[in-house]
Amino acid sequence: MAEGSFQYITLSASLPHLGALFSNADLPMSRFRLEERLSMLEDEDRRLLDRVTHVTSWPGVDGCDTDAEVVARFDAACRSLEAHPDLAAVVRERLETRMLVAALRLRRDGAADPAPVAAWGRMAIARAIRTNWSEPTFGLGRARPWLRAAQALCAAGDHIGLERAVLTEVYRQIDRAADDHQFDFEAVALFVMRFQLIERWQRYDATRARDRLEALLQSTLAGAWTAGNATPTGAGKAGSLSQ
């Protein structure tokens, strides 16, 4: 579909207003209905949309074994978005946000040096984290004001508060990009990203979270037994960027 095409206008106009992240109890449309509307996209656009929205959602990087693999997937998604630089910027910003939160968690869990960050590539944000490891906001608090609150929540062990702060920031990033796009591919992709965030927040379930925690504990313990009671380490593994 060409940029500014009438089909984009129809598709964008058929998508409901999502509102603020935590303002609605329910999504204004079901996933089934969303998929039905997205069927208006041409195959090539649909593949690109799936690629972008997949990598920015947690399931999209769930199967990655290492952080380097997560970064590589993001890089590949950004490369495929050469024709849509604003969307590529949102994807890159999403990875940076994920890196910052992962670094906060690593430091909270007692990592004395930024060794695991070495696997995060040569992005400026990864360099800043490595260089300013001992600073509360990695020297980025001025450019990213949300980081200060996130650091405090992380240090206090307020996981839900941290998740809320991060989702709010990601939603804000998407909103900012959406200001410049109303009836084009970017508008549709940014809508789907926002939809995913709201969907994710609404799916949070204490019972499922406990089940997942138990499953993770069991798999970790099983791994430790297999390795002769060796303590599993997270350095370079997908314990940071993909969880």
Partner 1 sequence: MTDLVLVLGWFGLFAPVALGAIGSSIGCARAGSAAIGAMLDTETGYGRFIGASLMPSSQVIYGIVIMFSLQRDPMTAEAAAGVFGVGVLAGVALLYVGIRQGEVLASAIVAAKAKPEIFGISLAPAAVLEGFAVFALVFALVLSGTIPG
Q: How far is the CB of 172 from partner 1 (least distance, A)?
A: 19
Nearer to partner 1, 182 or 202 (CB): 182
DSSP code for 168: H
Q: How far is the CB of 13 from partner 1 (least distance, A)?
A: 3
Nearer to partner 1, 13 or 25 (CB): 13
SS3 (DSSP) at 224: helix
Nearer to partner 1, 2 or 216 (CB): 2
Task: Please list the residues that pair with 66 across neighbouring strands.
Answer: 237
Is 37 a binder of partner 1 (CB under 8 A)?
yes
> Which 5-24 positions form the footprint of partner 1 (CB under 8 A)?
6-7, 9-17
Number of chain residues interacting with partner 1 (CB under 8 A): 15
Q: How far is CA 98 from CA 222, 225, 241, in A?
A: 28, 31, 6
> Which 128-147 positions form the footprint of partner 1 (CB under 8 A)?
none
Nearer to partner 1, 11 or 129 (CB): 11
Task: Please list the residues that pair with 237 across neighbouring strands.
Answer: 66
> Which 77-116 positions form the footprint of partner 1 (CB under 8 A)?
none
Report the candidate in 177, 168, 172, 165 with the shortest Cα–Cα distance to residue 90: 177
Q: How far is the CB of 106 from partner 1 (least distance, A)?
A: 41
Whether 53 contacts 200, CB under 8 Å: no
Q: How far is CA 155 from CA 62, 106, 149, 167, 216, in A?
A: 25, 11, 10, 18, 22
Q: Which residues contact 172 (CB under 8 A, 6 or more apart)?
A: none
Q: How far is the CB of 17 from partner 1 (least distance, A)?
A: 4
> Which 165-224 positions form the footprint of partner 1 (CB under 8 A)?
182-183
Nearer to partner 1, 10 or 131 (CB): 10
Nearer to partner 1, 14 or 131 (CB): 14
Whether 119 contacts 141, CB under 8 Å: no
- Sign, CA dihedral 168-171-177-182, equals negative
Listed ranges 2-10, 52-60, 94-102, 197-205: which one lies at the site for partner 1 (CB under 8 A):
2-10
Q: How far is the CB of 12 from partner 1 (least distance, A)?
A: 7
Q: Residue 240, Cβ neighbours under 10 Å: how many? A: 25
**226 φ/ψ angles, rounded to the nearest 5 degrees:** -60, -40
Q: How far is the CB of 171 from partner 1 (least distance, A)?
A: 17
Contact footprint for partner 1 (CB under 8 A): 6-7, 9-17, 29, 37, 182-183
